[in-house]
Structure 1
Amino acid sequence: MRTHLAAGFGAAVLVTGTLAGAPAAQARPAVAYHFHVPNGNTWTDGTVTFYNRSVLVKGVQKSVASTVEGCRNTLGYTLDSHGDPLTMNASHPMDEACSTSKSFDFVVPADVEGGAAFVRVCLADGYYTAISCNRYGG
């Protein structure tokens, strides 16, 4: 009987030692990229910062017209490693630029293990229709 107890105790110590020596899961460090998406004399410009399960999109958008078609918004789409979309978010209506430049910041979720591989940033009109887009990350 003592042999079985000793063997069981030895296995428990081995498992405990292995778990104690295992490195803790590391959080993905925040990685930032500059973006610039132009269309004629309008643009959106700023940074995208990748986190474990989201991407922060922050910057300034410029419009030279006051019509809905001429106003500008910024859209962000998170993408997985195959380039498939995860989710989308946009600058808020109060951030819309019409005949001016306006700051914005918003978070695009990427609720998958490891977060987004890429983000697609688009300059959009006042209807939130994408006019011009670029992809960042990788």
Structure 2
Amino acid sequence: MKTHLAAAVGSVVLTAGTLLGAPAAGAQTAAYPTSPFYVDDYAASYAYGTLTWYNRSVGVDGTLQAVGCRRVWFGAYGASDKLLGTRSTSTQCNTTYPLKTGIPADVTGGATYVIVCIDDHNAQPIKCERYDRRP
């Protein structure tokens, strides 16, 4: 009888110790919202990846596939359609180029939407797409 009681008490102490050492479920931070993007030039060049919506910027992680010479332009806009910040690549010719940058959006709540454009070698837009922030 004593061995069963000792085993039961030991099990309760071990379980309590494990639970007390575990992090609280509410202590985890929520992930920032993301949006996939894809823009092509109606030919063979395209840019794709993910926009990550932070509080005062938008992260870009993706790839440009340039056939001929192309560049990618990003513009972050606020709720009143005001341009908050831009980023662009340099002109890239016949290559695969990584897109890894942050677009400033230094207002409370950050950007409401981002415009992504594929430009020609003279920085003239060929095609642009709008991506809205989603909760």
Q: TM-score, normalised by structure 1?
A: 0.68
RMSD value over aligned CA atoms? 1.9
1:30 counterpart residue number: 32
Return the alpha-carbon distance in structure 2 between the equivalents of residues 55 and 126 of structure 1: 25
1:123 counterpart residue number: 118
**Regions of 4+ moved over 3 Å:** none
1:85 counterpart residue number: 83
Q: Is the 8 A contact 1:28 1:51 kept in 2?
A: no
Q: TM-score, normalised by structure 2?
A: 0.69
Return the alpha-carbon distance in structure 1 between the equivalents of residues 131 and 39 of structure 2: 11
Given the alignment of the two structures, is residue 109 of structure 1 paired with residue 104 of structure 2, yes or no?
yes
Report the identity percentage.
32
CA deviation after TM superposition for structure 1 residue 128, in Å: 2.4
2:48 counterpart residue number: 45
Secondary structure of residue in 2 paired with 1:52: coil
Given the alignment of the two structures, is residue 55 of structure 1 paired with residue 58 of structure 2, yes or no?
yes
Q: Cα gap change, 1:134/1:28 in structure 2, threshold over 3 Å: closer, same or farther?
A: farther
Aligned residues: 104
Bigger CA radius of gyration: 2
Is the strand fraction higher in 1 or 2?
Answer: 2
